[in-house]
């Protein structure tokens, strides 16, 4: 039902092409295939940093790193809308679809639309923090709105996702908060105002080996590449 289509170059076209491949394998080789159109799956133990994470994980990470009363960056104006499905519902839907004999494309997602601003507010409430939003209109924000039409899903499977966004985010936030804490358990992240400098700083128990040639803390090369450059050292307040 997607044809004739005008898919987004690369990203959208490869999805439709893969659906056609599934049909060809079934028709030409008798392979049993199922075609699912996922809508923003999220949950714990997924990507949460490095640029490949989905918006729920990115927001959870930013809120976990922020102080109570702090501000986080939101890409775009925050009014773009999405629907989100918790990973447990995704697995349940896949199992039900594979057990069925339905071979045409099927949406798998929730039909509850929320704005990115609302998503931030939900995560902040879960974290027990007051969080401000600083919108960056220069950053990519994707399509303005996307939702899952579940009419066919309910007809085909007699089922649809039931785990609320709040319930899924509560589990996800707890896990991501633990990852942030575990990554640097011996330090405190200080924003420019608190550090009294023009760049961010770390307060912790550092050794000479922690410094690069310029006398500053090296930018983490892997899991915390999203953090701003670390430029100054504070007096150690903990030991490794």
| Residues acting as catalytic residues | 11
Place of tokens 């090369």: 221
Strands (E), 164-217: 187-190, 200-204
Give the separation between CA 15 and CA 37, rounded to whole angstroms: 9
CA–CA distance from 78 to each of 50, 115, 128 (Å)?
21, 6, 21
Tokens of 192: 């420019």
Place of tokens 């939900």: 122
Give the separation between CA 128 and CA 169, rounded to whole angstroms: 13
Give the separation between CA 113 and CA 84, rounded to whole angstroms: 8
Side-chain-side CA neighbours of 17 within 13 Å: the count stands at 8
- The answer to whether the beta carbons of residues 127 and 166 sit under 8 Å apart is no
CA–CA distance from 100 to each of 30, 94, 155, 174 (Å)?
16, 10, 12, 35
Helix (H) or strand (E) holding 162: none
- Tell which residue, 96, 108, 101, has the closest CA to residue 26: 101
């Amino acid at each position: 039902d997607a044809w004739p289509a005008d898919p987004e170059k690369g990203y959208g076209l490869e999805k439709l092409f893969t659906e056609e491949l599934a049909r060809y394998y079934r028709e030409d080789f008798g392979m049993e295939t199922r075609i699912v159109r996922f809508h923003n799956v999220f949950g714990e133990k997924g990507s949460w940093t490095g640029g490949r994470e989905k918006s729920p994980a990115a927001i959870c990470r930013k809120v976990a790193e922020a102080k109570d009363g702090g501000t986080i960056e939101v890409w775009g104006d925050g009014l773009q809308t999405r629907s989100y499905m918790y990973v447990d519902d995704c697995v349940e839907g896949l199992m039900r679809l594979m057990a069925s004999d339905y071979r045409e494309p099927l949406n798998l997602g929730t039909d509850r639309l929320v704005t990115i601003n609302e998503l931030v507010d939900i995560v902040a409430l879960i974290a027990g923090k007051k969080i401000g939003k600083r919108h960056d209109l220069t950053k990519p924000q994707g399509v303005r709105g996307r939702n899952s039409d579940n009419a066919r899903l309910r007809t085909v499977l007699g089922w649809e996702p039931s785990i609320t966004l709040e319930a899924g985010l509560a589990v996800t936030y707890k896990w991501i908060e633990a990852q942030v804490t575990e990554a640097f358990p011996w330090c405190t992240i200080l924003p420019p105002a608190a550090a009294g400098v023009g760049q961010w700083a770390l307060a912790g128990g550092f050794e000479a080996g922690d410094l690069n040639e310029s006398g500053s803390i090296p930018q983490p090369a892997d899991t915390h590449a999203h953090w701003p450059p670390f430029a100054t050292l504070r007096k150690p307040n903990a030991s490794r």
